[in-house]
Chains A and B, each alone.
Chain A
Amino acid sequence: MARADAENELLRAVARGDPDALGELYRAFERPLYSVGMRWLSDPKLAEELVQEVTFRIWRRATTFDGRRGAASSWIFGIARNVAADLARERARRPIAVADPPRVQETLDEEKAWEAWQVSLELKRLPRQQQEIIELAYGRDMTQAEVARTLGIPLGTVKTRLYAGLKSLRRSLVERGVVEESSR
């Protein structure tokens, strides 16, 4: 798949010490990383720590990435899972008094997180205009009329872009095996 190849290539550039490649990789993965961080740790500060630590590890260990053994996104997801486990253990030891401690998950739900990971990666690849409408409608639970008002565009435009965005998201999620191919 061309996109996966592009990510692998970026990771190889990171291995050569190219900070621009790291920036580009970061922008592709920040959102998915933060999102799995929130899913696993239920704490915005820890989710930020996860993003930071994973980025450190990518920068340090990119030379050990082997594209023949799997895609860059799986490699990064694996790092995120390890960091999340470290952070969860760390938090259990942290002597900070918190009035209402966030619930700690005993085990990390890997399958659902992997699914969400791929959704947010694919979402990032949609045209910006479709992406922002999907985020407002499904990430912030806005109605289409609210989205139209927020973005200052006609409702008809929201409908067109939303439909197109959902359709191409579906196609890429079918490719990634996240949603099933329809039978017709």
Chain B
Amino acid sequence: MKRCSEVRLDLPAYLSSELDHASAAALDEHLAACGACLGDLSELDLVTAVLSHSGLEHRPPGHLELEVLTLVTLEPDPAGREGSSTKDLSRASRLQGRSIRLVLAPALAAAAVTLAAFGMAWRSDLSNARDRIQAMQQQLGPTGAPVRAISFVESGSTGVSARGELVRQPDGNHRIVVWAKGLPHTPAGHHYEVWLSGEQGWVSAGSFQVSDGDSMMWSCPVGVSPAAYPEVWITLEPDDGDPRRTGPSVLRASL
């Protein structure tokens, strides 16, 4: 007969019916004669029952930590929270019917311009938040003020989500910052293009590629008045040299 210490290692497999017939029968026999192992079994039974209802199957995606910590800790005034400029933005966003906002701090909005270069760090797992902040702050240019939150709606059911900000730069021009998750990698021979549209037609605001990772942050200056071009679209365009909008739209938003 096996010793109790050996028997016990088989109890989890016994509970999940993984033992073969002969091993299960031998274990039954031991349990019938050994109160201690039987007690152990009932303890393990309780724990595994709790485990199976605890949502262990839900795992946060790997990119979440870096995204959340970067965004949160880049708030301009982490210690003086209530007085920070993000509070007003948060309130403005709520007035627009979004209870959850992506606060792109002014500093981050400016940093987004250089995020293409920062892409490596964005994806790699930098565990030290302070290093990360310093690395981003080194790349900051003059900051701008977010004037409006942009809520994108996907044009289809591709599982893409995106938010953004319209930022007014110190020079009075505007800039659009887009933060998207789940954008498919750009297919060969294509690019994503950002457009503004209004009564006067369509204006391209720039293009970008998604090559690895499924999160991207992107920013471009806007050469026209956002008031005259109140719609923002992101489309997938072929690299065919045709400057007109011909590809399918992926995301759209109203300013």
Residues of A within 8 A of B (CB): 16-17, 19-20, 22-23, 26-27, 30-31, 33-36, 38-39, 44-45, 47-49, 51-53, 55-56, 59-61, 63, 83, 86-87, 89-90, 93, 95-96, 98-99, 112, 115-116, 119-120, 123, 134-135, 137-141, 143-145, 156, 159-160, 162-163, 166-167, 169-170, 173, 178-180, 182, 184
Contacts and interface: CB of A to CB of B under 8 A. Distances in A.
24 contacts: A16-B79, A17-B78, A22-B72, A23-B128, A36-B55, A38-B55, A39-B55, A44-B61, A48-B60, A56-B103, A60-B82, A61-B81, A86-B99, A87-B100, A99-B157, A112-B53, A115-B50, A116-B55, A119-B56, A143-B18, A145-B18, A159-B9, A170-B44, A182-B39
B157 to A, nearest CB: 6
A60 B79 CA distance: 8
A178 to B, nearest CB: 6
Interface of B: 8-13, 16, 18, 35, 39, 42-44, 46-48, 50-61, 64-65, 67-69, 71-73, 75, 78-79, 81-82, 97-100, 102-103, 127-130, 133, 153-154, 157, 161, 181
A87 B98 CA distance: 9
Contacts of B50: 115, 119, 173, 178-179
B39 A163 contact: no
B60 A119 contact: no
Contact of A90 (B71, B79, B100, B130): B100
A174 to B, nearest CB: 9
A51 B43 CA distance: 33
Contact of A170 (B46, B56, B65, B129): B46
Contacts of A86: 99-100
Given A22-B129, A23-B69, A56-B72, 8 more contacts: A23-B128, A35-B58, A47-B60, A51-B64, A59-B72, A90-B98, A96-B154, A120-B55
Contacts of A61: 81
Given A115-B50, A182-B39, A139 B60 contact: no
A138 B129 contact: no
A38 B8 CA distance: 34
Given A90-B98, A90-B100, A178-B50, A47 B72 contact: no
A162 B100 CA distance: 40
A16 B78 CA distance: 9
Contact of A22 (B42, B52, B73): B73
Given A86-B99, A163-B11, A59 B54 contact: no
- Interface centre among B9, B39, B58, B129, by most chain A C-beta atoms within 10 angstroms, is B58
Contacts, number: 164
B103 A35 contact: no
A116 B53 contact: yes
B12 A23 contact: no
Contact of A119 (B11, B12, B51, B157): B51
Nearest to A33: B60
B81 A59 contact: yes
Contact of A116 (B13, B54, B61): B54
A114 B44 CA distance: 20
B130 A20 contact: yes
A78 B60 CA distance: 20
A163 B12 contact: yes
A60 B82 CA distance: 7
Contacts of B56: 35, 119-120, 123, 134-135, 138-139
Contacts of B54: 35, 115-116, 119-120
Nearest to B160: A45
Contact of A138 (B18, B42, B51, B161): B51
A96 B153 contact: yes
B158 to A, nearest CB: 12
A96 B157 CA distance: 10
Task: Report, nearest first, the 4 A-B pairs whose CB atoms are least far apart.
Answer: A139-B56, A17-B79, A19-B129, A34-B60
Contacts of A55: 68-69, 72
A145 to B, nearest CB: 8
